[in-house]
Protein backbone atom coordinates (compact mmCIF):
# COMPACT_ATOMS: atom_id res chain seq x y z
CA UNK A 1 0.00 0.00 0.00
CA UNK A 2 2.97 2.36 0.59
CA UNK A 3 4.19 2.26 -2.98
CA UNK A 4 0.94 3.47 -4.61
CA UNK A 5 0.72 6.36 -2.14
CA UNK A 6 4.23 7.55 -2.93
CA UNK A 7 3.46 7.40 -6.64
CA UNK A 8 0.37 9.55 -6.19
CA UNK A 9 2.38 12.13 -4.14
CA UNK A 10 5.08 12.36 -6.82
CA UNK A 11 2.44 12.92 -9.53
CA UNK A 12 0.95 15.77 -7.47
CA UNK A 13 4.34 17.44 -6.90
CA UNK A 14 5.53 17.14 -10.50
CA UNK A 15 3.47 20.11 -11.88
CA UNK A 16 4.69 22.29 -8.98
CA UNK A 17 8.33 21.49 -9.79
CA UNK A 18 7.78 22.32 -13.46
CA UNK A 19 6.32 25.75 -12.54
CA UNK A 20 9.27 26.54 -10.27
CA UNK A 21 11.68 25.54 -13.04
CA UNK A 22 9.88 27.80 -15.53
CA UNK A 23 10.03 30.76 -13.14
CA UNK A 24 13.71 30.22 -12.51
CA UNK A 25 14.48 29.97 -16.21
CA UNK A 26 12.42 33.08 -17.06
CA UNK A 27 13.91 35.17 -14.23
CA UNK A 28 16.42 37.81 -15.43
CA UNK A 29 20.09 36.99 -14.97
CA UNK A 30 21.73 38.88 -12.11
CA UNK A 31 23.50 42.11 -13.14
CA UNK A 32 27.28 42.10 -13.06
CA UNK A 33 28.51 43.16 -9.71
CA UNK A 34 29.74 46.68 -9.30
CA UNK A 35 32.91 45.23 -7.79
CA UNK A 36 33.96 43.58 -11.06
CA UNK A 37 33.08 46.74 -13.02
CA UNK A 38 35.10 48.90 -10.65
CA UNK A 39 38.00 46.49 -10.90
CA UNK A 40 38.00 46.76 -14.68
CA UNK A 41 37.95 50.56 -14.49
CA UNK A 42 40.83 50.58 -12.05
CA UNK A 43 42.83 48.24 -14.26
CA UNK A 44 42.24 50.48 -17.28
CA UNK A 45 43.28 53.56 -15.33
CA UNK A 46 46.31 51.76 -14.02
CA UNK A 47 47.43 50.81 -17.51
CA UNK A 48 46.79 54.37 -18.71
CA UNK A 49 48.79 55.80 -15.80
CA UNK A 50 51.82 53.67 -16.53
CA UNK A 51 51.59 54.53 -20.23
CA UNK A 52 51.56 58.25 -19.43
CA UNK A 53 54.39 57.82 -16.94
CA UNK A 54 56.47 55.93 -19.49
CA UNK A 55 55.93 58.62 -22.13
CA UNK A 56 56.79 61.37 -19.63
CA UNK A 57 59.98 59.63 -18.53
CA UNK A 58 60.97 59.05 -22.13
CA UNK A 59 60.38 62.71 -22.94
CA UNK A 60 62.52 63.84 -20.00
CA UNK A 61 65.34 61.48 -20.96
CA UNK A 62 65.19 62.66 -24.56
CA UNK A 63 65.42 66.32 -23.50
CA UNK A 64 68.45 65.59 -21.31
CA UNK A 65 70.11 63.64 -24.11
CA UNK A 66 69.42 66.40 -26.61
CA UNK A 67 70.83 69.03 -24.24
CA UNK A 68 74.02 67.00 -23.76
CA UNK A 69 74.30 66.52 -27.52
CA UNK A 70 74.02 70.24 -28.17
CA UNK A 71 76.73 70.96 -25.60
CA UNK A 72 79.18 68.32 -26.73
CA UNK A 73 82.83 69.30 -26.99
CA UNK A 74 83.82 69.90 -30.62
CA UNK A 75 87.16 68.21 -30.03
CA UNK A 76 87.53 66.85 -33.56
CA UNK A 77 86.98 70.29 -35.10
CA UNK A 78 89.42 71.77 -32.61
CA UNK A 79 92.13 69.24 -33.54
CA UNK A 80 91.50 69.74 -37.25
CA UNK A 81 91.01 73.50 -37.51
CA UNK A 82 92.06 74.96 -34.17
CA UNK A 83 90.31 76.32 -31.08
CA UNK A 84 89.02 79.52 -32.70
CA UNK A 85 87.26 77.74 -35.54
CA UNK A 86 85.84 75.19 -33.07
CA UNK A 87 84.47 77.99 -30.89
CA UNK A 88 82.94 79.69 -33.94
CA UNK A 89 81.42 76.44 -35.20
CA UNK A 90 79.87 75.67 -31.80
CA UNK A 91 78.47 79.19 -31.47
CA UNK A 92 76.95 79.23 -34.95
CA UNK A 93 75.49 75.76 -34.41
CA UNK A 94 73.65 77.11 -31.34
CA UNK A 95 72.17 79.96 -33.36
CA UNK A 96 74.66 82.48 -31.99
CA UNK A 97 77.06 84.93 -33.60
CA UNK A 98 80.83 85.44 -33.63
CA UNK A 99 83.25 88.12 -34.69
CA UNK A 100 86.88 87.48 -35.50
CA UNK A 101 89.68 89.82 -34.56
CA UNK A 102 90.23 92.55 -37.14
CA UNK A 103 86.73 92.10 -38.64
CA UNK A 104 83.81 94.48 -38.21
CA UNK A 105 81.06 92.11 -39.32
CA UNK A 106 79.41 89.48 -37.16
CA UNK A 107 78.92 86.00 -38.56
CA UNK A 108 75.50 84.62 -37.71
CA UNK A 109 73.11 81.98 -39.13
CA UNK A 110 70.00 82.88 -41.08
CA UNK A 111 66.43 82.27 -39.96
CA UNK A 112 66.66 78.60 -40.92
CA UNK A 113 69.85 78.09 -38.94
CA UNK A 114 72.11 77.93 -42.00
CA UNK A 115 75.44 79.77 -42.06
CA UNK A 116 78.41 80.27 -44.34
CA UNK A 117 81.50 78.11 -43.88
CA UNK A 118 83.83 80.99 -44.74
CA UNK A 119 84.90 81.12 -41.10
CA UNK A 120 87.04 78.04 -41.75
CA UNK A 121 89.51 80.35 -43.45
CA UNK A 122 90.13 82.13 -40.13
CA UNK A 123 91.80 79.23 -38.37
CA UNK A 124 94.72 81.45 -37.36
CA UNK A 125 92.58 84.48 -36.47
CA UNK A 126 91.40 84.75 -32.84
CA UNK A 127 87.70 84.93 -32.03
CA UNK A 128 87.15 88.29 -30.38
CA UNK A 129 83.39 88.37 -29.66
CA UNK A 130 80.85 85.62 -28.97
CA UNK A 131 77.09 86.06 -28.68
CA UNK A 132 75.32 82.97 -27.30
CA UNK A 133 72.23 84.77 -26.05
CA UNK A 134 69.11 82.61 -25.66
CA UNK A 135 71.09 79.48 -26.46
CA UNK A 136 71.02 76.16 -24.54
CA UNK A 137 74.64 76.53 -23.42
CA UNK A 138 75.56 74.72 -20.19
CA UNK A 139 78.62 74.19 -18.04
CA UNK A 140 79.82 71.51 -20.50
CA UNK A 141 79.13 73.68 -23.51
CA UNK A 142 81.70 76.18 -22.25
CA UNK A 143 84.37 73.60 -23.12
CA UNK A 144 84.16 75.07 -26.61
CA UNK A 145 84.57 78.68 -25.47
CA UNK A 146 87.08 78.72 -22.61
CA UNK A 147 90.06 77.83 -24.86
CA UNK A 148 89.66 81.23 -26.59
CA UNK A 149 91.85 83.23 -24.24
CA UNK A 150 91.66 86.34 -26.44
CA UNK A 151 87.89 86.77 -25.99
CA UNK A 152 86.85 90.38 -25.37
CA UNK A 153 83.04 90.19 -25.49
CA UNK A 154 80.75 87.43 -24.27
CA UNK A 155 76.98 87.75 -24.41
CA UNK A 156 74.98 85.11 -22.51
CA UNK A 157 71.67 86.89 -22.16
CA UNK A 158 68.58 84.74 -21.63
CA UNK A 159 70.36 81.36 -21.40
CA UNK A 160 68.00 79.09 -19.42
CA UNK A 161 70.63 76.49 -18.46
CA UNK A 162 73.46 78.84 -17.48
CA UNK A 163 74.14 78.47 -13.75
CA UNK A 164 76.66 79.47 -11.09
CA UNK A 165 79.00 76.60 -11.96
CA UNK A 166 79.17 77.85 -15.54
CA UNK A 167 79.97 81.41 -14.45
CA UNK A 168 82.79 80.11 -12.28
CA UNK A 169 84.56 78.95 -15.45
CA UNK A 170 84.82 82.47 -16.85
CA UNK A 171 87.89 83.24 -14.71
CA UNK A 172 90.02 82.05 -17.65
CA UNK A 173 89.18 85.35 -19.38
CA UNK A 174 90.60 87.49 -16.57
CA UNK A 175 93.22 89.03 -18.88
CA UNK A 176 91.00 89.70 -21.89
CA UNK A 177 87.24 89.95 -21.24
CA UNK A 178 85.87 93.50 -21.29
CA UNK A 179 82.13 93.05 -21.96
CA UNK A 180 79.90 90.44 -20.31
CA UNK A 181 76.13 90.01 -20.23
CA UNK A 182 74.38 87.41 -18.06
CA UNK A 183 71.03 89.19 -17.99
CA UNK A 184 67.78 87.21 -17.83
CA UNK A 185 69.48 83.96 -16.80
CA UNK A 186 67.08 82.37 -14.30
CA UNK A 187 69.65 80.06 -12.66
CA UNK A 188 72.30 82.65 -11.88
CA UNK A 189 72.49 83.55 -8.19
CA UNK A 190 74.73 85.59 -5.91
CA UNK A 191 77.24 82.73 -5.79
CA UNK A 192 77.80 82.85 -9.52
CA UNK A 193 78.11 86.62 -9.63
CA UNK A 194 80.65 86.57 -6.81
CA UNK A 195 83.01 84.52 -9.01
CA UNK A 196 83.26 87.38 -11.50
CA UNK A 197 85.76 89.25 -9.31
CA UNK A 198 88.53 87.58 -11.34
CA UNK A 199 87.57 89.61 -14.44
CA UNK A 200 89.54 92.73 -13.56
CA UNK A 201 89.62 93.96 -17.17
CA UNK A 202 85.82 94.03 -17.33
CA UNK A 203 84.40 97.41 -18.37
CA UNK A 204 80.71 96.55 -18.91
CA UNK A 205 78.57 94.05 -17.00
CA UNK A 206 74.85 93.51 -17.58
CA UNK A 207 73.17 91.73 -14.64
CA UNK A 208 69.60 92.85 -15.20
CA UNK A 209 66.56 90.63 -14.68
CA UNK A 210 68.10 87.90 -12.51
CA UNK A 211 65.15 86.47 -10.54
CA UNK A 212 67.29 84.09 -8.46
CA UNK A 213 69.33 86.98 -6.97
CA UNK A 214 67.54 88.04 -3.80
CA UNK A 215 69.40 91.08 -2.53
CA UNK A 216 70.24 92.93 -5.72
CA UNK A 217 71.24 96.19 -4.05
CA UNK A 218 73.83 94.52 -1.85
CA UNK A 219 75.06 92.48 -4.81
CA UNK A 220 75.64 95.65 -6.81
CA UNK A 221 77.70 97.14 -4.01
CA UNK A 222 79.82 94.00 -3.78
CA UNK A 223 80.33 93.89 -7.54
CA UNK A 224 81.39 97.54 -7.60
CA UNK A 225 83.93 96.86 -4.87
CA UNK A 226 85.25 93.80 -6.69
CA UNK A 227 85.23 95.47 -10.15
CA UNK A 228 85.89 99.17 -9.53
CA UNK A 229 86.49 100.04 -13.21
CA UNK A 230 83.39 98.25 -14.51
CA UNK A 231 80.08 99.85 -15.50
CA UNK A 232 77.41 97.63 -13.90
CA UNK A 233 73.85 97.90 -15.18
CA UNK A 234 70.61 96.18 -14.25
CA UNK A 235 70.75 96.47 -10.46
CA UNK A 236 69.82 99.46 -8.31
CA UNK A 237 71.17 100.18 -4.86
CA UNK A 238 67.72 100.06 -3.26
CA UNK A 239 66.70 96.71 -4.70
CA UNK A 240 66.40 94.33 -1.76
CA UNK A 241 67.91 96.58 0.90
CA UNK A 242 66.12 99.43 2.60
CA UNK A 243 63.18 99.37 0.17
CA UNK A 244 60.64 99.54 2.96
CA UNK A 245 62.58 102.27 4.76
CA UNK A 246 63.01 104.23 1.54
CA UNK A 247 59.29 104.04 0.72
CA UNK A 248 57.98 104.61 4.24
CA UNK A 249 56.95 108.14 5.30
CA UNK A 250 59.24 109.97 7.67
CA UNK A 251 58.29 109.61 11.33
CA UNK A 252 57.69 112.86 13.23
CA UNK A 253 59.43 113.16 16.57
Spatial neighbors of 208 by CB under 8 A, at least 6 apart, are: 183, 184, 233, 234, 235
Domain borders along the chain are: 67-102+125-241
Residues making up the chain, counted from first to last: 253
Q: How far apart are alpha carbons 92 and 16 in whole angstroms?
A: 96
Question: What are the tens digits of pLDDT across the range 195-239?
Answer: 999 999 999 999 999 999 999 999 999 999 999 999 999 998 887
Q: How far apart are alpha carbons 39 and 47 in whole angstroms?
A: 12
- The radius of gyration of the chain's CA atoms, rounded to the nearest angstrom, is 37
Question: What are the tens digits of pLDDT across the range 22-81?
Answer: 555 554 555 555 557 767 776 766 666 666 566 567 778 888 888 899 999 999 999 999
Question: Is residue 151 packed enough to be buried (19+ CB in 10 Å), middle (13-18) or exposed (0-12)?
Answer: buried
The architecture of the domain spanning 67-102+125-241 is: Alpha-Beta Horseshoe (3.80)
Amino acid sequence: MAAPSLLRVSRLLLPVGRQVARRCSSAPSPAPSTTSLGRRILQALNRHFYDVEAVTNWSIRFKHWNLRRKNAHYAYTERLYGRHVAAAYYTLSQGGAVRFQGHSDWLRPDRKGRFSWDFLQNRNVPVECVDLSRSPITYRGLDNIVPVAELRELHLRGCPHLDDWALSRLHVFKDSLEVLSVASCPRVTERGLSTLHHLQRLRYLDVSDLPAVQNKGLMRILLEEALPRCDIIGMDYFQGIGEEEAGAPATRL
